[in-house]
Structure 1
């Protein structure tokens, strides 16, 4: 910035200086010619110089008047040798002596040299002053940026609590510092969430693994005293719990990483009706054909997780309500003990389980509501826990923008429904919850979301 300002200022000042020097040379040349001009009164015999304030006798014969002046050829180079200045004598009067005319021209060149050096000094001083001013201003402006850079360079994964200094002024640099701090806050929270998620996942995976190992070790140490059917049944339960947990962890990881770039038009009413038909204590109130853009399998998983949570805590009744409009509103209400208002947002955190849901028999891993909210967020919607009107339990409200429904062939719908059930069976949401395996269906279409199901391992027929 300083170099550009110096060059720009030097070019402008140089152009202005050249114009000023040309004007100065012209002015000195004109002054020299005027000052060196001599007037004569000439007759046929001689010429008499006319001096100011000196009387001249009037000749008896006819006379003529003439003049002579010295016109120097001045150079703009300030170090020109004045004694070698070229000149010419103009006029129709008698010529001056060569030495006298050269002295007049040399004096004019010396005056121009002095003016040029003075002007160059002034221009150089102005350019230097501009350079110093720009450099000082740039350093003052960029000093907070350097402080931010130095602070960011010291931040690593072990000290994410550090923040960059923000200037008190309200300008672009202050806003840059505030934005950097906001970004660091998000990174800090993301890293802390990841660390907490890894720690919680390790703890949740260690418990069933420890129980499974202990059961098998005890049975192997006393094989004659072990009830092997009971041992195998307990090991199978622990394996199913591990399968559910790892499937939920994989799903959460893919929901966080994958973008919802491919969407279909899903009949949410049909999804709700099919999911509710598998439940015993659920009452349904739904509008006809509520269409939303999204993934059918994920929306089915959202409702399934909410219903699993409601059935786990409900007393006698669970109500599901679906309303259309600019946004589809899905409500799942139970008449259970409810959730304290202070914990209604915390229950959507991963591995969060309230006190009444901590037993292995009654409580899950604490991932169901987290997965449900993540699915709602991926569909540009929301999921909140509120008071249940007319119930003493809790109401979960999911809103999903309906958008513009697009027509779709019935064959693809049937194929995708078959794929949904395959997906639910593979991630363990049918067998552990409902205790049955769905009937065989036609092979799912190749365009199903196999990446969400299998990850990098694609099925052979696809």
Structure 2
């Protein structure tokens, strides 16, 4: 039995039958006691007895006195009635009680038989009424569940027709305000989220394919042209250009892999991260960046991802800044991280769109001016995974843009700001005892050693790279 309607109907019928059966049984017991009492009362005969004989007393009739000394006595027939409605009334047993003369067995059986027949008729009538009530309850429950579950069946049929090709279809929402209406509204909201997710995935795949196709096409064209004229090709230039395309492909695939992991991996394992140390280390690697930060701002999360968030914001700021980039970090119930640049700024209509994947404004669509349009999308995704936010607003005091990231801490933070420090290239570093120590006292990670220029003469002989 898989139908919920049938299960509810059967359950309601069984419960109703049980309750009505118990009530009917009590009624039958009461009816049997009443019939037994009535039979005994109707069969009772009163006598006036002397020492030698008994004379029956009749209502409104004169009776001869059987003697000088008389006494009164009575006799009644009390049947032993059965509740089984199909029992044989002729086999009903009875008992004669009283001090008067007993009736003959034939009369007693006749009285008991009539009482049993009366009880049988009452029992059958009551069973019929109870069966009718149970059937009426079953039909009512069946009709009610059918009416209640009809919208659910309609929604089920509608959802069954939805697939990846028609995600715009929605289930009908009943006009009444009840659980079914809320279920339909929730289903539609879920379908909306699924639709947006599928559309985002399709757009993501299309944009990723487009972004991957461009460097691949350029790389293939350069190699095909060089191979078609191997003696005329400037091989160092060809290899250098191919290496640049390969690096761009590597960066793009790395960002795509990171986005996929951020979407799929749950942030269930968190550490206590000193966000101040992360910011100081990231800022120390860059030029023309001013830092103002509270001491020891602690947040729960993953250190590498928070470093990537700030790194992407600084990459974007350095790409568009004119002369200055400012980083501010404040603690409290939520850590507030600001990255401000004095660049051309972002129009208010585009401040939310810049966080979409593969979104680049018109002035940043060239390979030299902008990347693949994934940096800000990754930064916001990291902030969201840390239960925070990332927004773009107007810069304070000058033309530009300010990115504000908030990360919940849950820990009261001290508010002791350090002085504003300006770092211009390597001038802020001091070489003490052979170690690189910044003026603010924080020892950063060693910088990677720059890769030396290739000796093209050893590789290609007389061919030299052409610098454009």
| Corresponding residue for residue 146 of structure 1 | 153
Q: Is the 8 A contact 1:265 1:405 kept in 2?
A: no
| TM-superposed deviation, 1:63 | 2.6
Counting only pairs closer than 5 Å after superposition, residues 74-85 of structure 1 correspond to structure 2 as 74-85=81-92
**What are the residue-to-residue correspondences of 1:242-253 with 2, within 5 Å?**
242-253=249-260
Q: Secondary structure at the match of 1:279?
A: coil
Which residue is equivalent to 2:302? 295
**Matches of residues 239-388 of structure 1 in structure 2 within 5 Å?**
239-388=246-395
- Contact 1:291 / 1:405 at 8 angstroms: preserved in 2? no
Residues 137-146 or 258-267, more deviating: 258-267
Contact 2:333 2:412 in 1 (8 A): no
Measured after TM superposition, the shift of residue 135 of structure 1 is 1.8
Name which of 111, 115, 122 aligns with 1:108: 115
Determine the structure 1 residue equivalent to 2:190.
183
Residue 87 and residue 262 in structure 1: after superposition, are their counterparts in 2 closer, same or farther (change >3 A)? closer
Q: Say which SS state the counterpart of residue 339 (structure 1) adopts.
A: coil
Q: What is the total number of aligned residue pairs between the two structures?
A: 415
Deviation track 1:92-139 (CA, whole Å, cap 9, x = no partner) reads 323334333322221111111111111111111111112222222222
Query: Moved runs in structure 1, 4+ residues, more than 6 A?
Result: none
SS at 2:327's partner residue? strand
C-alpha displacement of 1:202: 0.5
Structure 2 unaligned spans of 5+ = 1-7, 414-443, 453-468
User: What is the TM-score of this pair, normalised by structure 1?
Assistant: 0.85
Output the TM-score relative to the length of structure 2. 0.83
Cα offset, 1:184, TM superposition: 1.5
- Matched with 2:434 is none
1:436 to 2:443 alignment:
no
Contact 1:71 1:89 in 2 (8 A): yes
Q: What is the distance in 2 between the residues matched to 1:271 and 1:140?
A: 62
The alpha carbon displacement at 1:198 in A equals: 0.7
Q: Which runs of 5+ in 1 are unaligned?
A: 407-419, 439-462
Aligned counterparts of 2:280 and 2:101: Cα–Cα separation in 1: 125
Contact 2:333–2:411 (8 Å) recurs in 1: no
The 1:365/1:107 distance shift into structure 2, 3 A limit, reads same
Alignment partner, residue 405 of structure 2: 398
Q: Distance in 2 between matches of 1:122 and 1:215?
A: 95
Question: Cα–Cα, structure 1 residues 290 and 63, in superposed 2: closer, same or farther, change >3 Å?
Answer: closer
Offset from partner CA, 1:419-455 (integer Å, 9 cap, x none)? x979xx9xxxx8xxxx9369xxxxxxxxxxxxxxxxx
**Alignment equivalent of 2:216, drawn from 209, 212, 222:** 209
**Equivalent residue of 2:226, what SS?**
helix
Between 1:312-321 and 1:190-199, the stretch displaced more is: 312-321
* Shift in alpha-carbon separation, 1:51–1:307, aligned structure 2, 3 A: same
Structure 1 vs Structure 2 CA RMSD: 2.3
C-alpha displacement of 1:405: 9.1
Q: Deviations over 1:250-293 (max 9, x none)?
A: 11111111222333333322322232233222222223333323
Q: Does 1:56 align with 2:63?
A: yes
Q: 2:162 aligns with which of 144, 148, 155?
A: 155
Distance 1:173 1:354 in 2: 45
Deviates more, 1:100-109 or 1:188-197: 100-109
